[in-house]
Structure 1
Amino acid sequence: MMKIGKVITAMVTPFNSEGKVDYEQTKKLLDHLIANGSDAIILAGTTGESPTLTYDEKVSLFKLAVDYTQKRVPIIAGTGTNNTRASIHLTEVATKLGVDGILLVSPYYNKPSQLGIYEHFKAIAQATHLPIMLYNIPSRTGSQIDASTTISLSKIENIQAIKESSGDLELMATIIENTDDHFQVYTGDDSQALPSLAIGAKGVVSVAAHLIGKEIQNMINAYLNGNVVEAAQLHRQLLPIMKALFIAPNPVCVKYAISQLHFNVGSVRLPLASITKVEKELIDQQIRQINNG
């Protein structure tokens, strides 16, 4: 079984003033996340701006994270693309570097059939012994992984989890009900962390954990310990910052918010636009509330 805990942080990729990957800030951010509630960390996912990272940058990030964290938390490498052969190659390289798991996004732009999606993931899974987390985010990819396809893929030994970012709790419930206990469903939406737990999800792949990782852990633990009223109260308290981080395309807002915590992770790469004055004001308001918590 994929042992990655309840709160997995999809980490931003720090850039310097020239827009290059800042590896020293990456180390500092890894330390921060590990100390503040992250059970595992995903690199080169959506929040890590994977579409604008080069192959060499991804490999360098994977190597740095493995070498620097020294197994303090599992490191999951985002190696999925809409090119099956390229995804296989990057997965093989990440496996050799010593990452602990693989994240595979549904193929984007090509608009494959469900059979094509199944064969794509199956081919990549055969290229590694590592546990694999699928990633369904149709709002970005234009490629929906149907529940029936996920259920079929769960029968492949090393496909052991899914990050469900469809926002469809009914779809998630169908997957949970029709897969074996070893297959773990995570929501990819911070605001759905508690509702997803209620239908049997394992936890959350989080963006907000950059800021409130310990608070999300407290909410989840309260629910799992039977303190449902307390968990609901914590959920309502955390919801405003969770929602605020998505008033602009992710990771625009979270990168700005992190910079206010004295981590200079830089801005985003084009075609994402930098945060606006209005968006900054909204995020600043939420940060003040967190600090006054």
Structure 2
Amino acid sequence: MHFSRSIPALITPFVNGSIDHDALRRLIDWHVDQGSSGLVICGTTGECPTLNHEEHIHVIREAVKLVQGRIPVIAGAGSNSTEEAVFLSRCSEEAGADALLHVTGYYNKPTQSQIIEHFRVLDRAVKLPIIVYNIPSRTGQELSVDTISALAQLEHIVGVKDSTGNVARVTMERLRVRKPFSFLSGDDATCLGYVAHGGHGCISVTANVAPKVCASMFDAMQRGDIAGAQSIHNSLMPLHTALFIDPSPAGVKYAMCKLGLCANELRLPLSPATETARVAIDKALEALEASTCQ
């Protein structure tokens, strides 16, 4: 299975402390209609650290039912415990997910060889395609190009989500990986450069808020309209920046609440967007609307 283009890392909507099932249904239908090419469920943006196991698996199961096979559902199943990662992976597989997204060990900071062993266990545990998530800002450990090359040799490892912000990595990795492989940016601000280096798409935070615009950038790239893609990227950049003034997904949920898509509710220790972030997001949304209406 190959993954490409704009794939939102979907928020988990809450209302009065519980999962908002009506909002989840609206969001999924909206993303399909707006041209998103897949959805990541229960990832970082989906506040997976504050979901218990029952909620985590329930949201994945509900997302699969609601999507109805229209686009791929990629289930966040990562953990810094290999045993827990296997459990979440098997539950996601049983729930009908199309693929898994697995972050590397955070806090306990395994070595590169230990990370490879972690993924070997996951590779044997399930039959679903696995996307490796390289996000050193959250894990404290960056996967080396050698490690990505080694992981790509495992049967079910089919791609990488790269949130390093280093667009040169995709070229170095492409030169080492000898099988069909999905190279996906995990950083909206550098996504265009990542794709220019040979990447296939982006698992995006901003696409929660502006899915159609994010998808249109990939349309332009596929047409060979580099100037058009740059223009779209330019229009999105203020929003990319504003959404991360506060720890994500505070900014995303504020923006989506403004658009009438969900409640502006997070779980502690995260809290709603600050005034500084709200002002910046308001300006970015106004500018984006003005640019898309031209």
Please indicate the TM-score interval, normalised by the length of the shorter structure.
over 0.9
**2:16 equivalent to 1:3:** no
Residue ranges of structure 2 left out of the alignment (5+ in a row): none
Shift, 1:290, TM fit: 2.5
Alpha carbons 1:160, 1:184 under 8 Å: kept: yes
Structure 2: distance between partners of 1:136 and 1:275: 26
Alignment of 1:155-194 (within 5 A): 155-194=153-192
Shift, 1:181, TM fit: 4.4
Which of residues 107, 115, 122 in structure 2 aligns to 1:109? Answer: 107
Instruction: Give the counterpart letter for 1:141 in structure 2.
Output: T
SS in 2 for 1:162: strand
With normalisation by structure 2, the TM-score equals: 0.96
Match of 2:254 in 1: 256
Shift, 1:224, TM fit: 2.4
SS in 2 for 1:173: helix
Instruction: Give the counterpart letter for 2:249 in structure 1.
Output: P
Structure 2: distance between partners of 1:13 and 1:177: 36
SS in 1 for 2:133: strand
Match of 2:11 in 1: 12
**2:125 equivalent to 1:127:** yes
Residue ranges of structure 1 left out of the alignment (5+ in a row): none
Structure 1: distance between partners of 2:193 and 2:262: 33
Shift, 1:166, TM fit: 0.8
Which of residues 260, 280, 283 in structure 1 aligns to 2:281? Answer: 283
Instruction: Give the counterpart letter for 2:66 in structure 1.
Output: Y
Instruction: Give the counterpart letter for 1:260 in structure 2.
Output: K
SS in 1 for 2:36: coil
Q: Deviations over 1:173-224 (max 9, x none)?
A: 2112211241111110111121011110011111111222221222222122
Which of residues 80, 83, 92 in structure 1 aligns to 2:78? Answer: 80
SS in 2 for 1:205: strand
Alpha carbons 1:37, 1:209 under 8 Å: kept: no
Match of 1:48 in 2: 46
Range with greater deviation from structure 2 (166-175 or 154-163): 166-175
Alpha carbons 2:4, 2:184 under 8 Å: kept: no
Alpha carbons 1:62, 1:94 under 8 Å: kept: yes
Alignment of 1:203-218 (within 5 A): 203-218=201-216
Match of 2:221 in 1: 223
Instruction: Give the counterpart letter for 2:234 in structure 1.
Output: R
Structure 1: distance between partners of 2:110 and 2:4: 32
Alpha carbons 2:80, 2:104 under 8 Å: kept: yes
Alpha carbons 2:8, 2:36 under 8 Å: kept: yes
Structure 1: distance between partners of 2:226 and 2:259: 31
Number of equivalences = 291
SS in 1 for 2:210: helix
Match of 1:98 in 2: 96
Identity rate, percent? 35
Alpha carbons 1:151, 1:178 under 8 Å: kept: yes
Structure 2: distance between partners of 1:131 and 1:220: 23
Alpha carbons 1:77, 1:94 under 8 Å: kept: yes
Shift, 1:78, TM fit: 0.4
Shift, 1:97, TM fit: 1.2
Instruction: Give the counterpart letter for 1:186 in structure 2.
Output: L
Instruction: Write out the 4+ residue segments of structure 1 that deviate beyond 3 Å after TM superposition.
Output: none
C-alpha RMSD over aligned residues: 1.2
